[in-house]
Structure 1
Amino acid sequence: MQKKQTSKLSLQQKLRKYIIGCGLLWLMCFTGIAQAQNANQEFTYDEFLGIVKKYHPLVKQANLIVSASQAKLLKARGYFDPKISADFYKKRFDDKEYYNLFNGNLKVPTWYGVEFKAAFDRNQGEYLNPENYVPEDGLASIGVSVPIGQGLWINERMAEVKKGKLYRQLGDYERTLAVMDALFEASEAYLDWKQQYEKVMLYERFYHNALERQQWIKKAIELGELSPIDSVESGIILKTRKLERDQAELKLTKSRLHLSNYLWAADDIPLELSEKMVPEENLKDNMLDVLGINPMATEMNLENHPKLNALSTKIDMKEVDRKLKANKLLPKLRLNYNYIAAPNYFNNYNWDDYKIGASLSFPILLRKERAEVKIAEAELNNAQYGLQFQRQTLQNKVRSKYAELESYQSQMGMNMDLIADYKQMLDAEVRLFELGESSIFYINTRENKLVKAKVTQIELENTYFLIVADLYRALAKI
């Protein structure tokens, strides 16, 4: 009896030595991993966003929106550019000069549809039309053309300039929104890289743990202290851990390459993320500060939000179109007056030398014009309703994102408690195994639940980060 107890005690001592040895090796493995991480260079989220904002082509494309809107304004102002033109016609047949006609003119449009004109005519020939007779030195004229009714208070040129100015404002708002979308896409890539990296580190640690456990179990079997089936059980979990690690490493490689799509240097040179770079470890503590988000706020100030400002600007543009269409309900009447005189006598004004004219047109039923006004009013009302809907939608989205942040913070806290509980259960199972009251199967079962809880924690944190990034995009404050 004494000998049997001594043998059982010896078995427990040996198992304890194996387990302690495994723990020491696992600790050395952790130390090696930590040292390897310290040898790597941390690539913070703030640094990453700085690179994207400065060099990424999507951000540069967003800047082109402003350039295009400025070009539209320049084009609209071009409708008010002075215009010079000249016409020359000559006919000669059978040694006779039938006519020699020259006309040059300068037109200067102004804001309210008034147009100033200056012209010079010089015509010669044996068969000149009497209408084209002018003094030998030519005939000069200056005059003005004034719209009465349609085109006086607003016309196509005025409308284009007003819309051009609005296009410039719209370009600034759309640029901001485009940059926010680019930063959100880049943030998704960074956060996925961080998630896959942490999963690789997790599976790597537990793989080494399973490897060391397999080694001391084999030694225990050789000593006759464990049955061969325990080696099969521990081998299954070792292969599982290796498979999980290899799959995670593949996803990490893909996420690293995807993240490289957002890394550019000056002169549009693409970069590739080095394997020595590691994501920011304390991102959960720093992300809100990096993005300038107040976690205590639940509402947002919509006064200067670029999306709503863009919609308001589009409404203003539709209002310009509506006024232009409404102006076409008026009769089109234009009066012209030109003072004419020979160049030598131009300084002596003579009221009797002039050329006047008037043109009038007016559709009787105005069906086309009235229909265009109704269409413009319907589009304007539709845009106003859309603005109201977007304002409420945006406010509710921000509220929901803040609620999600609070919920996921609570979920992460609860899951950390689960991790601590699973760790405690695993430690207890190991102690029972040391006393010969448990098995490798139960240890693996406890460990699987711990690994699953840790993976869940990584995924919860990733979802939390994505919510923060989406909230940043919704707030649209670069």
Structure 2
Amino acid sequence: MERRRNKMRTVIKLFSFLFLLSIVKGYSQDFNKEELSYSEFLGYVKKYHPLVKQANLEVSSAQAMLMVARGGFDPKIEVDYNKKEFKGTEYYSLLNSSFKIPTWYGVEIKAGFDETDGQYYNPQNRTPEAGLTSLGISVALGQGMFINQRMADVREGKLQLKLSDAQRKLRAIEVLYKASEAYFEWRKSYNEAELYKSYLGFASTRFNGVKKLIELGDSPAIDSVEAGITVRKRELNVENGNLKLAKAKLNLSNYLWIENVPVELEDNVKPEQNLIQTLEETLKTSAMMVNSETFEAHPKIQALETKMSMLEINRQLKANSLLPKLNVGYNYISEPSYFNSFNADDYKFNIDFSIPIFLRKERGGLKLAKLKIQDLKFDIDQQRLELKNKIKAQQTEIASLKRQKNVIDNLVKDYVTMLNSEEKLFSFGESSIFLINSRENNLVSAKLSQISIENQYYISNAELYKILANPD
């Protein structure tokens, strides 16, 4: 029997392992393809990255805080029961119970039931044998009538939801920006590695050709040394390029998740090569998509304006404290059996009044609340100006990098023409390996500059995307 149980456990474990393996394999197959586009990569980060999910907790936390604030208006049942009995004598038995319903504007509805029994108790607590019921209302006619702490907490809780959404966007955009940097660095390293590989191939072909020419006596032996030096330089470049690519790929993998499973790129996956045509649409950074409404909808401005609204609630609360405390309560009381027959002479009535003479604490608190609002207004004005200038500066940089890219593209074409011309001259015996290597080195440097400027252009767009802070 025990052997059968162990066998069943082994089978269950095996199936569980195979199931998990199939899940992980299924995830890896999503990236087992020729190209991972930037928009697709960004979509994975938005949906699955833990730090983006963590940013979403800001809103959930604010919802919980709002629930706590609304709890201040929950109906409440209170029961207070005291009894004393000593040496067979019941000194007293006191029952006070109530059901309270707080409402919005400083009004509280209350129903109660009191019962008193025994030989020794305060006469004012005496009730009929069946007990005493009450139904009444308490109204704040001074402080707390138009705003009180419970009302302020609920209003701030609603504003906190809006503030948390803005903070969520600011936290998420940081993750997306860093993920974009990792993708662009991977693309740059990939293109550099491919460039070095291709020119290593050219150098190796040229080296073999020079050796044949030397064997035929058509070229001096020193040419093989120079061609060999170029091959070794290219081999070194390829090795360094592969190292950079491996590190860039591992850095990119920090941002690749599906559900709770991190995913590592396969070696055959390439970055998007047509990125320059799709980038602005993916990041929404084209000049047509950035307008005056961007400033007001910006999460940082929204967060500051929400904080301003919260400070305004605090100011109203401080202004309300200048009013005297005046609470009036009325309760109709009756025996349970007579409750249906109303008698206006049976009631409890109370007035609670107080006011500080100088109100220095209250006036000082109100002044501080007003100063905080004024301070935040200055901050909002400054943030609007800085945001406007940052966007303008980034757009200027993007436009400049576009022009630089056009220049470097033409420069690369010219270097290609020069190299092709030099190779033709060499085939006619009118050039040398030294000149070909010089032309090729200039071309490689120009292409590396081309890759670098392209990468700067991508990062500059990502920085504008970060400034605009619209991750959704």
Partner of 1:59 in structure 2? 52
Which residue among 148, 157, 175 is the counterpart of 1:155?
Answer: 148
Larger CA deviation: 142-151 vs 431-440: 431-440
SS in 2 for 1:105: strand
5+ residue gaps, structure 2, are: 1-31
Partner letter of residue 408 of structure 2?
N
Does 2:444 align with 1:455? no
Q: Give yes or no for contact 1:42–1:278 (8 Å, CA) kept in 2.
A: yes
Partner letter of residue 271 of structure 1?
V
The number of residue pairs the alignment matches comes to 439
C-alpha distance after superposition, 1:31-52 (max 9, x if no partner): xxxxxxxx96111112212222
Partner of 1:413 in structure 2? 406
CA distance in 1, matches of 2:188, 2:378: 41
Which residue among 373, 384, 392 is the counterpart of 1:391?
Answer: 384
Partner of 1:6 in structure 2? none
State the shift of 1:226 in Å: 3.8
Partner of 2:12 in structure 1? none
Partner of 1:442 in structure 2? 435
CA distance in 1, matches of 2:177, 2:310: 30
CA distance in 2, matches of 1:230, 1:438: 12
CA distance in 2, matches of 1:475, 1:109: 44
C-alpha distance after superposition, 1:13-38 (max 9, x if no partner): xxxxxxxxxxxxxxxxxxxxxxxxxx
Does 2:319 align with 1:294? no
CA distance in 2, matches of 1:239, 1:297: 49
CA distance in 1, matches of 2:220, 2:227: 12
SS in 2 for 1:149: coil
State the shift of 1:300 in Å: 3.9
Partner of 1:284 in structure 2? 276
> Percent sequence identity over matched residues?
49
Partner of 2:7 in structure 1? none
Q: Give yes or no for contact 1:311–1:383 (8 Å, CA) kept in 2.
A: yes
Change (3 A) 1:476 1:300: farther
SS in 2 for 1:230: helix
Change (3 A) 1:271 1:297: closer
CA distance in 2, matches of 1:40, 1:108: 63
State the shift of 1:74 in Å: 1.5
C-alpha distance after superposition, 1:31-87 (max 9, x if no partner): xxxxxxxx9611111221222222222232232222222222221111111111101
CA distance in 1, matches of 2:437, 2:166: 56
State the shift of 1:408 in Å: 0.6
Q: Give yes or no for contact 1:299–1:399 (8 Å, CA) kept in 2.
A: no
CA distance in 2, matches of 1:112, 1:296: 48
Partner letter of residue 164 of structure 2?
G
C-alpha distance after superposition, 1:242-277 (max 9, x if no partner): 1111111111111112212222223x2221111111
Which residue among 160, 172, 175 is the counterpart of 1:179?
Answer: 172
SS in 1 for 2:96: strand
CA distance in 2, matches of 1:374, 1:249: 65
C-alpha distance after superposition, 1:102-146 (max 9, x if no partner): 111111111111111111111111112212211111111122111
State the shift of 1:303 in Å: 3.5
Partner of 2:207 in structure 1? 214
- Taking structure 2 as the reference length, the TM-score comes to 0.88
CA distance in 1, matches of 2:420, 2:287: 37
Partner letter of residue 468 of structure 1?
N
Counterparts of residues 30-41 of structure 1 (less than 5 Å): 41=34
CA distance in 2, matches of 1:178, 1:354: 59
Partner of 2:81 in structure 1? 88
Change (3 A) 1:101 1:348: same
CA distance in 2, matches of 1:259, 1:86: 62
Which residue among 129, 143, 146 is the counterpart of 2:122?
Answer: 129
Change (3 A) 1:77 1:153: same
State the shift of 1:149 in Å: 1.6
CA distance in 2, matches of 1:194, 1:380: 48
Counterparts of residues 163-312 of structure 1 (less than 5 Å): 163-266=156-259, 268-295=260-287, 299-301=291-293, 302-312=295-305
CA distance in 1, matches of 2:356, 2:236: 81
Partner of 1:73 in structure 2? 66
Larger CA deviation: 357-366 vs 411-420: 357-366
State the shift of 1:357 in Å: 1.7
State the shift of 1:415 in Å: 0.8
Partner of 1:113 in structure 2? 106
Change (3 A) 1:157 1:253: same
Partner of 1:362 in structure 2? 355
Partner letter of residue 278 of structure 2?
N
Partner of 1:343 in structure 2? 336
Partner of 1:48 in structure 2? 41
State the shift of 1:299 in Å: 4.2
Larger CA deviation: 171-180 vs 94-103: 171-180
State the shift of 1:153 in Å: 0.9
CA distance in 2, matches of 1:296, 1:341: 74
C-alpha distance after superposition, 1:137-194 (max 9, x if no partner): 1111122111122111111011011111111222333333333333222211111111
CA distance in 2, matches of 1:290, 1:384: 34
Change (3 A) 1:367 1:239: farther
Partner letter of residue 287 of structure 1?
L
CA distance in 2, matches of 1:452, 1:88: 90
SS in 2 for 1:347: coil
Does 2:365 align with 1:372? yes
Larger CA deviation: 431-440 vs 80-89: 431-440
SS in 1 for 2:141: strand
Q: Give yes or no for contact 1:299–1:395 (8 Å, CA) kept in 2.
A: no
CA distance in 2, matches of 1:332, 1:411: 71
Partner letter of residue 409 of structure 2?
M
SS in 2 for 1:145: strand
Partner of 2:375 in structure 1? 382
State the shift of 1:335 in Å: 1.6
Q: Give yes or no for contact 1:300–1:398 (8 Å, CA) kept in 2.
A: no
Q: Give yes or no for contact 1:210–1:238 (8 Å, CA) kept in 2.
A: yes
Q: Give yes or no for contact 1:192–1:255 (8 Å, CA) kept in 2.
A: yes
Change (3 A) 1:300 1:474: farther
Partner letter of residue 374 of structure 1?
K
State the shift of 1:328 in Å: 1.0
5+ residue gaps, structure 1, are: 1-38
Partner of 2:132 in structure 1? 139
Partner of 1:27 in structure 2? none
CA distance in 1, matches of 2:419, 2:249: 34
Q: Give yes or no for contact 1:298–1:399 (8 Å, CA) kept in 2.
A: no
Which residue among 314, 330, 337 is the counterpart of 2:307?
Answer: 314
Partner letter of residue 360 of structure 1?
F
State the shift of 1:197 in Å: 0.6
CA distance in 1, matches of 2:159, 2:310: 7
State the shift of 1:340 in Å: 1.6
